[in-house]
Amino acid sequence: MDSLPLDISHPAVRDYLSLVRLQVLTPLSLLINIAALVVCSVIVKPSVGSIIKLHPTSISPSPSLIAAYVVAIFLGQIGYCILLVMARKPETKTTLVKGVGLSLVFANWLMALWVITWVLEFFLLSTILLGFLVLCLLYSNITLLIYHPPTYSRPLDMALIHAPLRFFLVLPLSLLFPYSLFITLGLFYSPGNPEDYGSFAWPGFGVTFGANLVGLIVILMHRDVVWAVAATWICASIWSARPKPAPVYITVILFTVLHPLALLGTLLYRRLTNREGRIALPNDEEHDTASSGRRGPREVDAEVLWGSS
């Protein structure tokens, strides 16, 4: 270690190496996730969509709408990977390294493993993997919200970091995990007996109402556009896959309307009451660290290595 030209113990060097690691592992994990999903959706029989049709429940979604949702997740992650390479602001790099870190890498690996166990019909293992996926994404989203909150001064961070992570979270949290749990617990009916679609209507109602109520609270509290779009998309995917028991069908139709209305209402209320949040202006003080002495061979110029604002 002493022969290296840089001081590995320096925080800026450690953060830089962490960023380089993410620049390699994140695109790799995304490619693995995409490859696993494509193979299990196109080549393997029964496919991911076929499993949904073979195990209908009161909350079964439309495979085509969920496929489009997953494509949107992948497109968002591609933008995230581009930002990993192109980021220059120290605040953005800090958000990538310390806000998201390896959690997105683990999430992609977990989703790839879930797809494999899903087509193999190992539903208990699929449910466990989805539980870990929810926890992984929930951790990264809470960390971003608390320690690296979105700000309009860095719109690319909002569009390519916060939005893809939030969009990714809503799918397993509100649909995939409860749906897999339903199948694991035997709360599904035979596709050969469509007249049994009303079976287990109230568990379906409890799941859809609870998940959408949480989403509605998030939208009202944070004016969360991404969550509103994602939750509305999930609701549409459920009611478009018919038949559905009345408690579930009415609930998802209701929240399909409520989510965008709640978002528009909070945005309108904010504008009318003029309760704009205070913007923290950057400090104009310039920190002149120039000195007459020359830098040692293992000293690190953190501004050059990590970037400047």
Is 4's pLDDT higher than 80? no
- Evaluate whether 80 touches 161 at the Cβ level (below 8 Å): yes
* pLDDT of residue 299 exceeding 60: no
Using 50, 70 and 90 to split pLDDT, how confident is the model at 9?
low
As a whole number, mean pLDDT of residues 2-7 equals: 55
As a whole number, mean pLDDT of residues 28-42 equals 95
CA-nearest of 222, 209, 221 to 253 is 209
Mean pLDDT of 125-149: 95
> Quick one: residue 45, left, alpha or beta (phi over 0 = left, psi -120 to 50 = alpha)?
beta
Q: Work out the pLDDT band at 289, boundaries 50, 70, 90.
A: very low
Kindly report which listed range (69-73, 85-89, 169-173) carries the lowest average pLDDT score. 85-89
**Who contacts 27 (Cβ-Cβ below 8 Å, separation ≥6)?**
81, 84
**Cα Rg, the chain, nearest whole Å:** 23
CB atoms within 10 A of CB 56: 21
Helix axes 163-171, 103-119, angle to 10 degrees: 30
The domain ranges of the chain are: 11-189+196-272
Query: What mean pLDDT is predicted for residues 84-105?
Result: 92
- Give the DSSP letter string of 83-132: HHHH--SHHHHHIIIIIITTHHHHHHHHHHHHHHHHHTT-HHHHHHHHHH
